[in-house]
């Protein structure tokens, strides 16, 4: 009986000790931290037709952290003629979609997604045209 009590006491002691080598997992970074940065367009489609990003044409989107779940964005572009400019994208609201990345919203309208592999997809309707952009994080 004494051996059984001793065995139970030792077992309880061994399993109740916290492993000091194990550390608590790092908290996940804020959504805005995961999204912020520059994204260079690799594909542009307008009304279903590919628009090659060649001969100097380029699009870059830059997102800056605003709050934990919001970023502000700027889209910079260069045309084939060498003209360049920037468009303020304003405030972009972020929503975590787990394995599907982070969805981007303009108000209540979904406008894009950043995958866990840092691939940005944007799909908007502007000036009567459907515009789709795929970009990778630099």
- Which domains does the chain possess? 2-137 (2.40.128.120)
Residue among 99, 102, 38, 98 at smallest CA distance from 68: 102
Structure confidence at residue 59 (pLDDT): 95
* Residue 71: how many other CB atoms lie within 10 Å: 25
Q: Rounded CA gap, 11 and 97, in Å?
A: 43
CA-CA-CA-CA torsion sign (98, 100, 123, 135): positive
- pLDDT given for residue 39 in this prediction: 98
For the chain, which ranges sit under pLDDT 50? Answer: none
The pTM score is 0.78
CA pair distance 69, 33, nearest whole angstrom: 9
Give the per-residue pLDDT at 113.
97
Q: Which of 137, 135, 123 is nearest to 46 (CA)?
A: 123
Q: What pLDDT, on a 0 to 100 scale, did the predictor assign at position 29?
A: 87
């Amino acid at each position: 009986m004494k051996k059984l009590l001793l065995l139970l006491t030792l077992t309880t002691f061994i399993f109740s000790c916290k492993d000091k080598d194990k550390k608590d997992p790092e908290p996940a970074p804020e959504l805005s931290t995961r999204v912020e940065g520059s994204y260079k367009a690799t594909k542009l489609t307008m009304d279903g037709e590919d628009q090659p990003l060649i001969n100097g044409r380029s699009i870059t989107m830059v997102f800056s952290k605003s709050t934990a779940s919001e970023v502000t964005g700027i889209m910079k572009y260069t045309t084939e003629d060498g003209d360049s400019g920037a468009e303020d994208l304003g405030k972009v609201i972020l929503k975590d979609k787990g394995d599907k990345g982070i969805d981007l919203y303009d108000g209540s309208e979904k406008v894009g997604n950043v995958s866990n592999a840092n691939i940005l997809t944007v799909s908007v309707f502007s000036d009567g045209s459907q515009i789709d952009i795929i970009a990778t994080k630099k």
